[in-house]
Amino acid sequence: MILILTPDLKPESELYRQLMVHLSRLPNIQSRVHQERGTEQTLTEIYLIGNTLAIPVEEIKALPGVERVVRVSEEYRVLGRHKDDDRPAHFDYQGLRFGQDTLHVFAGLCAVDTQEHVEMMMRALRDNGQVCTRMGAYKPRTSAYSFQGRGKTCLPYVFDLAGKYGIKVIAMEITHELQIDEITGALHQTGNPTGVLLQIGTRNTQNFELLKIVGRQQDYPVLLKRGFGITLTESLHAAEYLASEGNRKVIFGLRGIKSSLGDPHRNFADFAHVPVVKALTRMPVCVDPSHAIGSRRAGPEGILDVMHVTAQGVIAGANLILADFHPAPDQALVDGPQALLLNELPRFLEDVQIAREAYEKRLSLAQRYVNHHHAGS
């Protein structure tokens, strides 16, 4: 059960103290407080854990300081959608809104290689009106002998260039908690010119210690990718694990599942799960068409498979697209074969726009039928 308190109720206040005393007297119930500091107000939620079925909702609702009470099912207490649950399905970061109703494109380098390539990428993004990108500095690889990323040495120039080209958020994978400090240090050193979306890759979806650490910090939102060989439920539990530590700014990423049934694609695209994740949780949903497809294969009409699956994700309501681009894919140190070229960026963005408009039309069609259903019979 979740108690949503009246906005701006201060933990120091007498009202709050009395409420907590009352809750502490409930038998076999523990409470856990979560505070959400927004730009306008601070919202406090109290999670009651234990035998909550025995608690009369009306009585709790009537307590001074309690605005609303939500009875939650066992699953996804923090991130889930529950009956009468109107907690928001969005958050703000760097002046941008990330929600189940927005769409942002994160086109960029799979892995940072040279400063020159980073600059070429960011210039192309700015010239195409983009304010988000992906830039891998720490790369978990299938082989121990493969390039592991430039690590912290590239961070100062990546952040400086982001500032120069107006990039507000960089999706950047981390594989170890110390890398958060390296990122924070480099941002500080360069005067905080940009923001970072911490990415947890598919190989770390169930790295629970890492999840807890990114869940405990509130400086950066997190993009958690689905594990490539586990069920959707197991990956959503991982997201809940993270969020239950405090950080609710979590985006869930679909990137295809590992299966030979996806051949000739690198992974089997799972973007049919976009609406499933949105129905079960309040997380914005990201799709990664590049890692799903893994190559520059194209259909007979000349549309790249990467663009096809991007459109499939967007037309199903995806909120974020993570896409590999590179100024010279044959020189890329990671995933060159799946990268799109800089001169393909305008076309890619226009294709995304077409799919988004189609999604919006589908949305209004659906709403027309829902309203009809309510108003009519």
What residues make contact with ligand PEP under the rule CB under 6 A? 110, 136, 173, 201-202, 225, 255, 288, 291
Nearer to ligand PEP, 160 or 173 (CB): 173
Nearest distance in Å: CB 329, Mn ion: 12
Task: State the binding partner of 160 from ligand PEP, Mn ion, none, CB within 5 to 8 A by kind.
Answer: none
Which ranges in the chain belong to alpha helices (H)?
Answer: 14-24, 57-61, 115-127, 155-164, 178-189, 208-216, 232-243, 274-280, 289-293, 305-315, 345-375
Crossing angle of helices 345-375/305-315, nearest 10°?
Answer: 30
Nearer to Mn ion, 48 or 196 (CB): 196
Nearest distance in Å: CB 78, ligand PEP: 23
Nearer to ligand PEP, 202 or 281 (CB): 202
Find out whether 169 and 131 touch, Cβ atoms under 8 Å. Answer: yes
Sign of CA dihedral 109, 303, 260, 289: positive
Nearest distance in Å: CB 5, ligand PEP: 38
Nearer to ligand PEP, 111 or 161 (CB): 111
Bridge-partner residues for 47, per DSSP?
A: 2, 32
Task: State the binding partner of 284 from ligand PEP, Mn ion, none, CB within 5 to 8 A by kind.
Answer: none
Nearest distance in Å: CB 288, ligand PEP: 6
Enclosing H/E stretch for 198: strand 195-200
> Which listed range, 11-19, 252-260, 331-339, 341-349, lies at the site for Mn ion (CB under 5 A)?
331-339
Nearest distance in Å: CB 201, ligand PEP: 3
Nearest distance in Å: CB 325, Mn ion: 12
Mention every residue, 6+ apart, whose C-beta is less than 8 A from residue 29: 23, 48, 49, 50, 51, 52, 55
**Greatest Cα-to-Cα distance within the chain, rounded to the nearest angstrom:** 70
Task: State the binding partner of 282 from Mn ion, ligand PEP, none, CB within 5 to 8 A by kind.
Answer: none
Question: What are the DSSP calls for 85-115, one per residue?
Answer: ----SEEEETTEEEETT--EEEEEBSS---H
* Binders in 101-140 for Mn ion, by CB under 5 A: 110
Nearer to Mn ion, 100 or 202 (CB): 202
Find out whether 137 and 158 touch, Cβ atoms under 8 Å. Answer: yes
Nearer to ligand PEP, 246 or 262 (CB): 262
The two beta strands, 2-5 and 42-50, are antiparallel
- Asked if 335 interacts with Mn ion (CB under 5 A), we say yes
Residue nearest to ligand PEP as judged by C-beta position: 201
Q: Name the amino acid, one letter, at 20.
A: M
User: Where do contacts with Mn ion occur on this chain (CB under 5 A)?
Assistant: 110, 335
